[in-house]
């Protein structure tokens, strides 16, 4: 399988080169040809902690600017608290995004579903994947600062034709018509949370619903 991926990649070459994190500053340019970094490598493309700079990020959530190179990509962004975090177990994109188009994509302010204090060190893990399911990774190191502000205007833009949609939510339906798994009185609903994936199993209903978030 890996051989297939590698040979495909060799054919496609660097022309279809993955993605870049423009803001906050990524740990290192994982696309540079003079390194051993590879965006296929979990969790941070093989770039060691400490290789890059730390960006001050607002406590209430900051901006993320990506340069995407594929026609479309699934995107999720995870947060790991602490220095040299290896466990990126806080999802900042609870709903999987399908970003269509290549070029700049900016999320103006991602909210943080955890209590963070001024000076808290953390790392962002940006994950993209396509149809095959194989993922690409990049990390950016941040320090939460009450004085930091989200990006405004100019730097935070979406290139023409770059749009995002939440996977599984058709444009014609609204949230009240989205089916929601309901727990049964005897508690047959089990929620297993692990990393970026949440698996909801309802044994009583006789079906398994897997949501990749």
Residues contributing to the site for Cu ion (CB under 5 A): 16, 18
* CB closer to ligand NAG out of 146 and 178: 178
User: Which residue among 49, 56, 169, 181 contacts ligand NAG (CB under 6 A)?
Assistant: 49
Q: Concatenated DSSP letters for 76-111?
A: EEEEEESTT-----EES-SS-EEEESSEEEEES---
Site for ligand NAG in 29-48 (CB under 6 A): 32, 34-35, 48
* Gyration radius from the chain CA atoms: 18
The option from ligand NAG, Cu ion, none interacting with 18 (CB < 5 to 8 A, set by class) reads: Cu ion
Answer yes or no whether residue 156 interacts with ligand NAG by CB under 6 A: yes
* CB closer to Cu ion out of 99 and 116: 99
Q: Which residues contact 80 (CB under 8 A, 6 or more apart)?
A: 86, 87, 88, 89, 90, 122, 123, 124, 125
Torsion, Cα 148 51 108 68, to 10 degrees, reads 170
Positions that interact with ligand NAG (CB under 6 A):
25, 28, 32, 34-35, 48-50, 52-53, 72, 84, 86-87, 89, 98, 100, 106-108, 156-158, 163-164, 167, 174, 176-177
């Amino acid at each position: 399988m890996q051989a297939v991926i590698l040979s495909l990649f060799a054919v496609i070459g660097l022309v279809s080169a993955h993605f870049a994190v423009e803001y906050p500053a990524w740990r290192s340019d994982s696309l540079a040809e003079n390194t051993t970094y590879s965006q296929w490598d979990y969790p941070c493309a093989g770039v060691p902690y400490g290789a890059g700079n730390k960006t001050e990020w607002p406590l209430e959530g900051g901006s993320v600017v990506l340069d995407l190179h594929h026609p479309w990509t699934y995107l999720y962004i995870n947060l790991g608290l602490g220095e040299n975090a290896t466990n990126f177990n806080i999802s900042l994109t609870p709903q999987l995004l399908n970003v269509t188009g290549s070029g700049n994509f900016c999320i103006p302010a991602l909210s943080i579903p955890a209590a963070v204090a001024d000076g808290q060190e953390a790392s962002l893990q940006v994950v993209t994947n396509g149809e095959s399911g194989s993922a690409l990774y990049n990390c950016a190191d941040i320090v939460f600062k009450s004085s930091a502000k989200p990006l405004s205007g100019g730097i935070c833009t979406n290139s023409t034709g770059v749009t995002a949609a939440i996977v599984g939510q058709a444009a014609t339906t609204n949230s009240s018509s989205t089916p929601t798994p309901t727990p049964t009185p005897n508690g047959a609903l089990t929620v297993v949370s692990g990393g970026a994936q949440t698996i909801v199993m309802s044994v009583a209903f006789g079906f398994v619903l897997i949501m990749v978030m």
